[in-house]
Amino acid sequence: MFQLKGGLYPLTALQLLGSNLALFEEQLALKIQQAPKFFHHAPVVIELQKLNPADISINFKELVAILSRKKLIPVGIRGGHPTQQAAATEAGLAILTEGGKELSKSQTQPEKSAEQTVQATTNPDTSNEADIKGTPTKIITEPVRSGQQVYARGGDLIVLAPVSHGSELLADGHIHIYGPLRGRALAGVTGDSTARIFCQSLEAELISIAGEYKISEDIDQSFWRLGVEISIEAGRLHIRPL
């Protein structure tokens, strides 16, 4: 039902220089103000190498809370004393080796999409088509029924049939639906914000690209039942009639 694969991903490193977390939060807020988009939901690694050896006790739980408040996603720590590493593990952080080898793929993704990928690989009802390997683009010709989940790993998903209420399409790349979209469609689930969704009739329960999402209620009614293209523009979901 799933595959484990290694991967190397660019991450922002946050070098901690002191253990005063109040001061840290203040300075972080200033930094984020300068480039809010760069930091928004960015996965970060906390580096402890530059820390004064005297600052042994770091409250990692508080540190994680601060980062979360600032919409950053703490992934793990690098370096540090064994006591610090134990405290970091306690706070749910991974301990990364110097080469970053312990970093698993899902941890580099924004939390939301990580959650969705896990769902995609554990659902027992996934249709047979979902198991075809070796083709980056997955083509589905049968209707996708309520309760079914189809995931195009590492590529695009093309559906040549209706997508029912209560079904879910996921793709690392684009999603094309040559029929009505009545279920959920999540493109760019591993974080590709250039991914797009195309459908012939927008009647979706949820649409999402790279974690940005809209539920049915929030979709502008003027696009309802139209053929549309959905993309991310200026960080937000943008719907355009085809």
Q: Return residues touching other proteins (CB under 8 A).
A: 125, 127-128, 142-143, 145-148, 161-162, 164-167, 182
Q: What is the gyration radius of the CA atoms in the chain, in angstroms?
A: 21
CB of 148 or CB of 190, closer to other proteins: 148
**Nearest-angstrom CA–CA distance, 80 and 92:** 16
Angle at 124 between CA 73 and CA 141, to 5 degrees: 95
Residue with tokens 């659902």: 123
CB of 70 or CB of 165, closer to other proteins: 165
CB of 120 or CB of 210, closer to other proteins: 120
Question: By the 8 A CB rule, do 104 and 5 touch?
Answer: no
Question: By the 8 A CB rule, do 176 and 157 touch?
Answer: yes
**Nearest-angstrom CA–CA distance, 206 and 217:** 9
Partners of 70 in beta bridges:
none
**Nearest-angstrom CA–CA distance, 237 and 65:** 28
Question: By the 8 A CB rule, do 229 and 215 touch?
Answer: no
CB of 26 or CB of 125, closer to other proteins: 125
Least CB distance from residue 14 to other proteins, whole Å?
A: 45
CB of 81 or CB of 165, closer to other proteins: 165
Least CB distance from residue 163 to other proteins, whole Å?
A: 11
Least CB distance from residue 89 to other proteins, whole Å?
A: 40
Least CB distance from residue 142 to other proteins, whole Å?
A: 7
Least CB distance from residue 208 to other proteins, whole Å?
A: 21
